[in-house]
Structure formats: structure tokens, C-alpha cells
Structure 1
Amino acid sequence: MAETVQGGVGAGGLPVFLINLDRRPDRRDYMEAQLAAMGLPVTRISAKDAEVVPDAEIAAEVALSGHLIRMGRGSQCNALNHFEIMRRLVASGAPRPVVLEDDIELSPDLAGFARDGAWLPAGVGIVRLEKWSRRVTKKLLGPELGTSPVAGRSIRRLYSRVGGSGAYIVTRGAAERILAGKGILRHPIDHLLFNLNISPLAREVGVGMVVPALARQAWGRFSSDIAATRKAEPRPLSAQLRRGWYEVNLLPTQIGAVLFRGARPIQIDYAERTA
């Protein structure tokens, strides 16, 4: 079920989809207040609830076991939420939306990026808006792509992996390709979208990133619904070896990006405002 909360941006703006559990109105209020302050209308998508969704509904798109990367039931349901938004995007004919999970702190500068999609660089199907980790991190990023709609920020192509699926923009073409090629998912949705080590689809559609980031986890404000369903199990040796192979597998591409495409490690930070 989808509900739309009106805001101030007109028809030319990017639609905003918010994934939110019915039993978490606190998160909904937090997100809608941030978006309302920016004048951004939002369409709420009622999230699949790990406590009630039947196995058969999950298994139609996401593996219940035998995962390449560990997935709890909350993570499995979260993937369904993102696929649902992609299907809505494809059916609507809209060119691209902003996709948000409901535990994200947003920069007011998001309004400048959501005003229209003219700034979106060619050859990039997903633009990541989020800094996920609390730690200081560096990612291998290419040179600036096009012109940022907000001074002090840039859009750069991503050549390494990064976690989290809390805030991004996806084009209709990328959504179509992901839905057509995903099969039965065996790893969390953020790995499908942003882990270039293991996701051929991410490499194919092209992933960009806004630097500094426009969003980050609202650390300490909310408990994690996904983490609560994740089993604390030791990672088997086979999984550790597979993860190591994924890391090594992308090295030739990354070396080529450094030598021939101007890529370099760049520190990823969140900035509330840059303009």
C-alpha cells in the first residue's frame, strides 16, 4: 500500500519513496518531518514485515537459505521492498525516484538534487546518496561527472563496494535491468546495488555516488529492525574464502580505473550543508 504526503516541489521534481513498517510510526514521523522541511512530497511504501510475511512470498524473489552473504529475515523482506519500488517505477513511466529507508538523517541539500534529474550523469543507473559506516572510510571513486546541482558536492563513479541501501536514486532503465536479471536473490539488497565485487548488475548499470554524502544512518535514534532478525552465527570458512575471492576478482578493474579513468581513493563523509 502506498500513501502520498504532499510537499512543495512541483511535477518536475524527482518522486520520493519511503519504505516504512506499519508498526514504526515513529520512524515515519521522523522522515516525513525532514522531507516536509525541504518541501519534498513523499510516497510511503508499507514495508514487508518480517514478523508476518509468509515464506512463499519471500521465496518467490529471495532465497530463504543457502545465501552467498548472510541474510536474516528482515534483510530478506527489505529486498522485497526495494524490488516493489522498482516495479512501481517501471509501471509508472517516471524516469527516476529517490528511494529512502526510514532510519536516515538527511541533508537539506537533498532538495537541490530532487528538484529535477537534469544533473544525472549519462551511463550511471544508480546514484548513491548515503554514507553508511560510522568509521572513516575511503572508496575508489572516479573523477567528477557532470555538474552537481548543489555547490560543494560532486557525483563520482564508484569502483569499489559499500554497504547500506538507505538512500539512493535509481533510473527506470536500471530498475528494469535489475528486475530482469536479479533471479532469486542470495545476498542482501545493498550488495546487489552497491557491491561491485559480487554484483554484475551493479557493474552493468553503473553506480555513482554523491560526495560528500547527503544522508547517513540516524545512529542511536532507532533500533535496527533488520539486525534484530539476523542470527549471530560464525561465518563458515567457505563463506570467508568466497568473500576473499570477490575482493580479488575486482582488482583488475580497479587497477584499470586508476590507470586509465582517473580513479583514486576518496574519503567518504556526510555533510549537512555545503552550499
Structure 2
Amino acid sequence: MSVDVGLYYINLKHRTDRRTFMEAQFERLGLTVERIEAVTPADLTEAQIRDNCLPYRRLGRAPAEVACSLSHIEAWRRFAASGREVCVILEDDALLSSQMPALLDELANGLTGGVIKLDAMDHPLRLAEAHRSLGQHFAVRRLYTCTSRATAYALDRPTAEEMLVRYEFLHIPVDLVVFNPYGPLKGRIQVNQLTPAIAVCLELAGRPQVGVDPSLLSNWTRGSVAASNLEQDLVAREKSLLKNLRFADRVLMLRSALAEEFISGPSKFMQDYFWGVKKHTVRFVP
């Protein structure tokens, strides 16, 4: 039995350039999408700042990062209240594949639980053998790598409701909570990866590991009001990435990397030889 798949994207009110970019993609793909206005640092309460942000909390976050987490929580809340069984959540710098409508049709048959990360990364991910096919071209694999970015993902309503009840981690970036199989939600939700990917963050789209044809990227962004501003964003973020990486992020990612790469004896053996966990490069499909 097919279900209605909700499609949401998160966008800051003042980023009209990104809104134009995303809605041009939705129109091209024939998709009906609900916009969720992103939370800003000005929207945070004094308690949220005191409990989660530097300098009040050791290893805390910047207010903008807490606002980002709250934006995703609002998307989960909107979805849970909609009555739909499955949804896809996008950030406003997601480059979308022409296969997105086909994937949504497959998701309409329902999910088996958990979260499915839909976007490509520029580094290999440890993935189990496929445990579900979505049509002829897509597979769902259990994710065993802590990975950043919440550019595009699908989830079902029970998972959204579980995260709304359990989520108490505003002092940690939302992507390092939801897409971290060794993190604070371990054992509560199952984290999966779609292969191949049907979305990619524009910041990664130009990297050869991701598999985006440069001419295709140029065609999709040419003429868009957002194109020049997005390009400036990407250059600025690329230059400041390592400079602005907080000590808290380094500690969390190192701890997750140690759990991932140096799992003691039986666990690593089980993953590699019984569950078929191997490193895969997840590429974007046009």
C-alpha cells in the first residue's frame, strides 16, 4: 500500500537566493515541497544559549549551530504532525538528481524504520551489504561511519517521533548525532545510506569523488539568482573549514573514528565478515 511522502526543505528567511535555487529545482522535477523557515540565533531563548553555547557550556556550540539543530527538529515536528508515514528533508544547498521523483515513488511503499541518508560524500563510507532495494537502481545499506552533513535524508514517522522524544543534544551538531552510528542515539535508530546518492551538498559537488559532471553542475546553476551567492558561499566555507573546526568537533569525530576504525575484536570481526561491512564510495547519480 502506497503512502503520501512529505517533502520539506529548510531555508533561512533572508536567503532568498537559496530559496530561488531550490524552488527552480523543484519546478524542474515537478515536485511539491513545503518550505520550513530556519531558526536563527535571534530565535534562541536565554536557556538554550546558556545550556548549549560557548562560553557557558564547555565544548558548546555557536548559536548558529544550535539554531540549525532546532531547524531540523522543527522539520521532524512538522512531519510528525502531518499524518504522513514517510518524509524527505532537504537543506537549501542540496543539488538534486533527476532521479528524485522516482525515488519518492519507491519511498511511497514505506520504510522499514530508521533514517536513510540520501546525499553523496567525498570520502569512503563503511557500509553493510544492501538489505533493501528501492526500484531497480537504488539500494539501502546500513551505515557504519560517523559522517557529517544533513543535506538530504528520509525517515519514517515512528523514527521522527522517537527522535523528538529522545533528542537532548543541542550542544552537538545535528548531523553528528543523527548520522553517527556510534553516537548518542546508538541503539535507538538505525542509520542507513542510499546508494547511489540522489543529492549532494553544493560545497562537495565540484569534487571528483562525488561524481557530478562539471558541465551538468554549470547547466543547473547557470542563470539562477542563487548561483553567484552560492559560489561565494562555497569559496568562503572551503577556506574557513579547517580554521573554524572547533575542538569539540575534533574530539567527537576522533572518538567516533576510533569507534569506527578500531572496534575491538569480535565487533569488528562481526561487521567485516558476517555483515559484509566494507568501504564504499557513494557517488551522485545525475
Q: TM-score range by the shorter chain?
A: 0.7 to 0.9
Displacement after TM superposition at 1:166 (Å): 0.9
2:21 equivalent to 1:26: no
* Aligned position for 1:190: 175
Compare 185-194 and 108-117 and name the one that shifted more. 108-117
The answer on whether the counterparts of 2:22 and 2:94 sit within 8 Å (CA) in structure 1 is: yes
CA deviations 1:31-88 (Å, max 9, x no partner) are: 11111222210000111123x324437449x7123365x6332221110011011112
Indicate if the aligned counterparts of 2:151 and 2:201 stay in contact, CA closer than 8 A: yes
Match of residue 279, structure 2, among 258, 265, 271: 265
Query: Normalising by the residue count of structure 2, what TM-score does the alignment of the two structures yield?
Result: 0.77
Q: What SS does the corresponding residue of 1:204 show, helix, strand or coil? A: coil
Change beyond 3 A, Cα 1:156–1:59: same
User: Which residue matches 1:100?
Assistant: 90
Return 5+ residue gaps in structure 2 as ranges: 207-226
Change (3 A) 1:28 1:254: farther
Q: How many angstroms apart in 2 are the aligned matches of 1:94 and 1:22? A: 26
Distance apart, 1:248 and its partner CA? 2.7
Shift of 1:30: 1.0
**Distance in structure 1 (CA, Å) of the matches to 2:241 and 2:269:** 35
1:179 aligns with 164
Identity between Structure 1 and Structure 2 (%): 24
Q: Aligned partners of 1:231, 1:64: CA distance in 2, in Å?
A: 20
Q: Which amino acid counterpart does residue 129 of structure 1 have in structure 2?
A: L
Secondary structure (helix, strand or coil) at the match of 1:81 reads: helix
Consecutive unaligned residues of structure 1, counting only runs of 5 or more, are: 1-10
CA 1:271–1:156 in 2, change beyond 3 Å: closer, same or farther? same
User: In structure 1, how many angstroms separate the alpha carbons of the residues matched to 2:246 and 2:14?
Assistant: 32
Equivalent position amino acid for 1:104 in 2: A
Name the counterpart of 2:78. 88
Write the distance in 1 (CA, Å) between the matches of 2:89 and 2:258.
Answer: 31
Provide the rounded CA distance (Å) in 2 between the counterparts of 1:96 and 1:121.
7
Across the aligned residues of Structure 1 and Structure 2, the Cα RMSD in angstroms comes to: 3.0
Give CA-to-partner distance per residue, 1:115-169, whole Å, 9 cap, x none: 25355552x410110124xx3x2111111122222x3332111111111001001
Contact kept? 1:72, 1:229, Cα under 8 Å: no
Which of residues 106, 127, 136 is equivalent to 1:141? 127
- Which has the larger helix fraction? 2
Task: Give the equivalent residue in structure 2 for 1:6.
Answer: none
1:158-197: per-residue Cα shift (whole Å, max 9, x none)?
1111110010011111111111112242210001110123
Please name the residue that 1:160 is paired with. 145
Which 4+ residue blocks in structure 1 deviate beyond 6 angstroms? Answer: 228-231
- Give the corresponding residue for 1:3: none
With normalisation by structure 1, the TM-score equals 0.79
Q: Go from structure 1 to structure 2 and tell me whether the alpha carbon gap of 1:42 and 1:233 turns closer, same or farther (over 3 Å shift).
A: closer
